[in-house]
Amino acid sequence: MLARLKVSNLAVVESAEAEFAPGLNVVTGETGAGKSVLMGAIGLAVGTRADSSVVRDGAKDAKVEAEFLLEGDVRREVEAILSEAGIADDEAAAVSGPRTFIIRRTIGANGSGRVWIDDVPSTVATLRKVGRQIVDIHGASANLRLMDEGFQRSALDAFGGVDASTYSKRWRALADIRSEIASLESDTGGEDEADALRYQVDELSSAELCEDDETVAERHAALAHAAEIAECAEEVTEALGGDGGVSETLSRIQPRFAAMARRISVAEDWVREAEELTVRAQELSRAVADEISRMDAGRDEMDRLDERLGVLNRLKRKYLKHDRPGAVAELIALLERKRARLEALEGREAKIAALRQAEAEALAAVEAEGAKLSAGRRAAARKLSKAVESELKDLGFLQAKFTVALERREPDASGCDGVSYVFEPNPGEGARPLADTASSGEAARVMLAVKGVLARRVATDVMVFDEIDANVGGEVGRAVGEKMRAVAEGRQVIAITHLPQSAAYAARHLVVAKAVSDGRTRTSVAAVDGEARITELARMLGGGAAASAARRHAEELISNAAAGLAAHGCGGETGKRRGYGKSQR
């Protein structure tokens, strides 16, 4: 449940704090006092969208702080979300019973904003996930949701415990196949492109490109200057190993080094160095001679390289428009891309045919699973129709008819059923879709009836009703109040209301008031009981807070509400059955 809410600089509210109780909490006050701002603050605390326009004029930022006391499945779901987000408190999670979660959010006048959950920085996305587990917010404008087929279907599934996950999996598989077929069929490549690709693949493949082709130009240049290189090499080999060359000279002076070595020890090193130089000069001479001999025998190689270079240069000019290093590797990669594209074009029809077969099989699986889903929905529809119709009788529709109608249709992401809530508010008017028959007041009561039924099936901890009883009054208002109190059995309900008949059923009554001080409007929130509550109900009745008739009527409303609750076995301590007690962190 929501235990405490603190608001600063939000719209007309400079600073306000409210404490809530288990069961039904009603919020009343004059029009414009800031009741809806208080409800908006609850929305901000659970991740609804906000912008800088909500910041009070002249303030740097708006701040909302909410303290939730959670237990059971709701607590476990929230802890799982926080664990996934990396902000879990393992020590607090190990403590059983109710646990307090504190959420703080700021919205800057410059558009910035920050979120903290249990004093740990978080994100609005995580806050929104947490909020969906804790709070279900329903405003007067949200009655329009009741007319939406998607809401009607999801409410039916939630009530009946209908699991659509397997169907959704089958549908996604079918959708993926259809997407692939559409992609293949939308490919504009035709036989002309395939013919061009065949020619290009043949041309590139016949060149038998390989990594060694990268050095063809270098080897060709070397052979092209073979005569010049041979002349230089001849001079080198002559200088190294010919008459009077380096090798001969070193051989001739070695005995001299040996003679010197008998007189000075350092000459022994000279002897070894002279021997090494002689060997190295001979090896260098042979290496140069061997290379030149190969060049002399490479006329055929020159012709081959000349032809290869011509092929490579032509392909580079045609396909790459450059001859930078790595060009051959680019040609090889280009060949692979063109070959893959050609295979795709040549195999497209066969692949489409195979996908069509897979589509038929996937559609059969979707229809089979859809039939199971439809059966579950039909069973749930019969029960939901009866349950809502029963709730509507409590809300003043004594002879109304309510039916959840299912219509077979082509499969889509939601199933094989069209869902429509059919409503006949009065006998003889004819049953028509709810969207075509319900006034705003009727829609509010139908939504409350649906919410009342779903509340027994959905684990949401807090339900917020923002003027759900708009456009109703009198005895119907009393019925709405009684129904909200019934929904609040086992959970917390927070409701803004203008109806004293509804407000009389509150377990906790909060009054929002505004006052002007120093030229600024300031809002306060206070819990009322006893005489103060009678005064507020008298004001709501329109007779004036001090009018005796209005006060007597207010006392009667409170007395009758208490008597009605007692007759139904409902007390004021509805939250105790859920174990709400001392906060634990």
Closest CA to 444 of 57, 23, 144: 144
Q: Reduced to 3 states, what is the DSSP secondary structure of residue 103?
A: strand
Here the tokens at position 574 are 């509805």
Helix axes 165-186, 348-394, angle to 10 degrees: 140
In a domain, 145, yes or no: no
Parallel, antiparallel or unpaired: strands 120-122 and 135-139: unpaired
pLDDT score at 475: 74
Within 10 angstroms of residue 412's Cβ, the number of other Cβ atoms is: 13
Structural domain containing residue 271:
207-346
Are 128 and 212 members of one domain?
no
In a domain, 418, yes or no: no
pLDDT score at 145: 65
In a domain, 16, yes or no: yes
Closest CA to 498 of 534, 536, 443, 464: 536
In a domain, 312, yes or no: yes
In a domain, 549, yes or no: yes
Q: Which residue, 321, 346, 371, sits at the end of a domain?
A: 346
325 CB-near residues (< 8 Å, 6+ apart): 214
Are 305 and 217 members of one domain?
yes
Backbone angles phi, psi at 167, to 5 degrees: -60, -45
Residues 326, 329: Cα–Cα separation, whole Å: 5
Residues 565, 567: Cα–Cα separation, whole Å: 5
Helix axes 267-296, 246-261, angle to 10 degrees: 170
Are 225 and 121 members of one domain?
no
Helix (H) / strand (E) element for 476: namely helix 474-487
Residues 420, 151: Cα–Cα separation, whole Å: 10
Closest CA to 145 of 437, 390, 443, 480: 443
342 CB-near residues (< 8 Å, 6+ apart): 194, 197, 198, 201
In a domain, 431, yes or no: no
Residues 105, 99: Cα–Cα separation, whole Å: 20
Are 236 and 321 members of one domain?
yes
Closest CA to 118 of 106, 127, 108, 109: 127
- The angle at the Cα of 428, spanning 422 to 433, to the nearest 5 degrees, equals 15
pLDDT score at 364: 96
Are 337 and 211 members of one domain?
yes
Question: Is the CB of residue 477 less than 8 Å from the CB of residue 485?
Answer: no
Residues 218, 416: Cα–Cα separation, whole Å: 70
Question: Is the CB of residue 558 less than 8 Å from the CB of residue 534?
Answer: yes
Are 135 and 230 members of one domain?
no
- At which residue do the structure tokens 């959905």 appear? 458
Are 238 and 341 members of one domain?
yes
Q: What is the CATH number of the domain that holds 521?
A: 3.40.50.300
Q: Which residue, 326, 346, 366, sits at the end of a domain?
A: 346
Cα 210 from chain centre: 47
Are 116 and 212 members of one domain?
no
Ordered per-residue pLDDT tens for the chain, 585 residues? 999 999 999 988 889 999 999 999 999 998 888 888 888 899 999 998 888 999 998 899 999 999 999 988 889 889 999 999 988 888 888 888 889 999 999 999 998 999 999 999 999 999 999 988 888 887 655 556 667 788 889 889 989 999 999 999 999 999 999 998 988 777 666 677 778 888 988 899 988 888 888 878 877 777 766 666 666 777 777 777 666 667 777 777 878 878 888 888 888 888 888 888 888 888 887 887 787 776 655 567 777 888 888 889 899 889 898 888 888 889 999 999 988 888 777 777 788 889 999 999 999 999 999 999 999 999 999 999 999 999 888 887 888 889 999 999 999 999 999 999 998 888 877 788 877 765 666 777 787 888 788 777 766 678 888 877 766 667 777 888 888 888 888 789 999 988 899 999 999 999 999 887 777 777 889 999 999 999 999 998 886 655 788 899 999 999 988 886 665 555 444 333 333 333 333
Residues 529, 42: Cα–Cα separation, whole Å: 23
Are 126 and 252 members of one domain?
no
Question: Is the CB of residue 101 less than 8 Å from the CB of residue 2?
Answer: no
pLDDT score at 440: 63
Are 10 and 97 members of one domain?
yes
Q: Which residue, 346, 376, 399, sits at the end of a domain?
A: 346
Question: Is the CB of residue 494 less than 8 Å from the CB of residue 521?
Answer: no
In a domain, 410, yes or no: no
Question: Is the CB of residue 570 less than 8 Å from the CB of residue 14?
Answer: no
Residues 445, 456: Cα–Cα separation, whole Å: 17
- What is the pTM assigned to this prediction? 0.63
In a domain, 392, yes or no: no
Sheet containing 401-412: give its strands across.
Answer: 401-412, 415-424, 432-433
What is the number of structural domains in the chain? 2
Closest CA to 504 of 464, 470, 543, 477: 477
Are 133 and 211 members of one domain?
no
Closest CA to 67 of 141, 117, 10, 108: 117
